[in-house]
Amino acid sequence: MTTPIPSRLAALRMAMQKHGVAACLIPSADPHLSEYLPAHWAAREWLSGFTGSAGTLVVTAHAADLWTDSRYFSQAEQQLAGTGVALKKQKISHAPEHLQWLQEHLNEGDVLAVAGDSLSVAARKQVERLLGEAGARVRTDLDLPGEVWTDRPALPRAPVFEHASGFPGATRAEKLERLRASLRRQQATHHLVSSLDDVAWLTNLRGSDVECNPVFLAHLLVQTDGPATLFVDRGKLSDTLVAALKADGIRIADYATVTDALGELGKNARLLLDPARVVCTVADAIGTEAGRVEAANPSTAFKARKTEAELEHIREVMRRDGAALVRAFRRLEERLAAGMTQSELDVDALLRDERSAQPDFIGESFATIAGYQANGALPHYRATPEAHSTLQRKGLLLVDSGGQYLGGTTDITRVLALGETSAEQRRDATLVMKGLIALSRARFPKGASGPQLDALARAPLWASGLDYGHGTGHGVGYFLNVHEGPHAIRPPAPQGALVPLEPGMITSIEPGLYKPARHGIRHENLAVVVQADQTEFGEFYAFETLTLCPFDRRALEAGLLNPEERAWLDDYHATVRAALAPLLEDADLAWLERHCAPL
């Protein structure tokens, strides 16, 4: 099959030559620095053919290289074949990252172009510093991919809607006042919020401009003394919603005019912006007389700590989501037993069918990963009508899925034994389970961060010379993005922030193990940080597991679990049974009882 990628790269190189550009950097980003992008800003995908959510493309006159991490190595190798784009593996020992590569390959006087609406203020400083050492310079005023992308998709126009009454943990007026109090403490008069989940959380509004993420394209400019301005496409808002926002001190302005408003800030203004969450194009528009405070968005920390009211909604969502999964897994099991042909696509459809029957279900929180056998070894695998596997009554099926509900966001991974499994598969699944249990049982002092806890989940694998290439846990939003900061559980990184885990923060716990061409294992629950003990050594926290769905014990080698681990798993299944049994009946209830029986 022919690919359009070489001709697209040729057009980009012609534009580079016209502007005297030696290299073009195309990150995975939009003007809000989102993880998942509207099609309008998927330039890296358009120019490379690689569809993963994380990747950076660098194009020069003679090379086109794409950097991505271990979650996507196999996918990238497949999708880049025949395109003229080469895979560069990120976070591999002795392999240069893209900025180091550029530093080594650009010469005195060379120009690197990167669109200013896809590069953060903080990232530009880093690029300018590194390339400045090589005598090269950076231009952010050129959008070269935009010049050659003639059939670029339009901006999304989906309606914006109110997060239904009773679900938000506070009114938008209360959230804005809390934000203004933080600004006053930092002696700021204004604050620009560009990150879409922060805008949605502060305004108690939701949308669908980004697939699976209930957010909408907008910027928010907040004054400490005066109304806030929401820069958004007015056509997305009903008159009723505009009136409600006005009553809460939020006026509406056109999405494209945010730079005009920033340019009007004068010498009495002192604007707080997060250099990691605001792009150059927007920041460069700020009036030259206005002062700046560079600091993290206060709302990012606010929304990470769920209120007790929000947690009660989340716990109910977990019950409903767990019941939907039980029904879906039972139906899959019965279909296979009856000899029906089932594929990875059917698993996706079953989950969607059962979740959509639940109260307050809005949609999926990400594209379902249903990977059978070797496909499970691709951490971000996605079955398509053109490429998918048919299930057999043997081996392992990895299912990673989630839902968006008015009362919360779910993310869960289960590994199902579809029939006979190998000793290696059961051993691997059990080692990963030991890691999940170790982290789930952890007690840790106030002030501890995710990177300090990450090793707990890896230790059982490390003891056998095994490991996995992704983080162990990410924050999760409240009917918002399935990946949410500022906290995370991952290995320590140089100069990486150590964000303390605090009560109310939700995190995934998802250790894994991937053996290419054989199988993949990942067990995942969501958990919330809760207060545990107060001792002479200070305050200690723990995790309360939120996810409610049985693990398939047929995929485990129970003899490898110690008594404490067996007790944890039995206690977890007893909790799952008690929570879900009232929602199930007949064959579904029998399936639950069977899978929640003690080891």
Torsions phi, psi for 506 (to 5 deg)? -100, 135
**Fold agreement (5-148, 308-595):** no
Distance CA 346, CA 342 (A): 6
- Stretch 449-476: mean pLDDT: 97
Percent pLDDT > 70 in the chain is 100
> ∠ at Cα 594 (590, 595), nearest 5°?
120
Nearest C-alpha neighbor of 424 from the set 524, 522, 515, 559: 515
Torsions phi, psi for 509 (to 5 deg)? -125, 105
Q: For 50-64, 315-329, 424-438, 562-576, which range has the lowest pLDDT when averaged over its residues?
A: 50-64
Angle, to 10 degrees, between the axis of helix 344-356 and the axis of helix 308-337? Answer: 130
Distance CA 59, CA 95 (A): 18
Distance CA 584, CA 499 (A): 40
Whether pLDDT at 244 is above 70: yes
Q: Given this model, what pLDDT does residue 43 score? A: 97
Q: What amino acid is encoded at 29 in this protein?
A: A
Q: Given this model, what pLDDT does residue 91 score? A: 78
Pairing of strands 64-68, 86-89: parallel
Q: Given this model, what pLDDT does residue 75 score? A: 86
| Domain range 161-298, CATH class | alpha beta
Element (H, E) at 319: helix 308-337
Please report, for the chain, how many H helices and E strands are present, in that order: 18, 28
- Stretch 45-70: mean pLDDT: 94
| Helix extents (H) in 338-418 | 344-356
- Stretch 465-482: mean pLDDT: 97
Nearest C-alpha neighbor of 582 from the set 544, 542, 548, 554: 548
pLDDT one-digit tens code per residue, 308-349: 999 999 999 999 999 999 999 999 999 999 999 999 999 999
Q: Under a CB-based contact definition with an 8 Å cutoff, are residues 136 and 113 in contact?
A: no
Torsions phi, psi for 84 (to 5 deg)? 90, 5
Domain boundaries, the chain: 5-148, 161-298, 308-595
CA 597, distance to chain mean position in Å, is 34
- Stretch 117-123: mean pLDDT: 96
DSSP 69: -
Q: Give the three-class secondary structure for 310.
A: helix
Q: Given this model, what pLDDT does residue 495 score? A: 75
Percent pLDDT > 90 in the chain is 93
Q: Which CATH topology does 5-148 take?
A: Creatine Amidinohydrolase; Chain A, domain 1 (3.40.350)
Token pair in block for residue 6: 């070489």
Task: Give whole-number Cα distances, 19 to 22, 111, 147, 315, 327, in Å.
Answer: 9, 9, 11, 56, 59
Q: Give the three-class secondary structure for 140.
A: coil
pTM exceeding the 0.85 threshold for the entire prediction = yes
Architecture of domain 308-595: Alpha-Beta Complex (3.90)
CA dihedral of 68, 72, 74, 77, whole degrees rounded to 10 = -40
Q: Given this model, what pLDDT does residue 380 score? A: 83
Q: Under a CB-based contact definition with an 8 Å cutoff, are residues 451 and 491 in contact?
A: yes
Whether pLDDT at 33 is above 80: yes
Nearest C-alpha neighbor of 485 from the set 169, 235, 274, 222: 274
Q: Given this model, what pLDDT does residue 1 score? A: 60
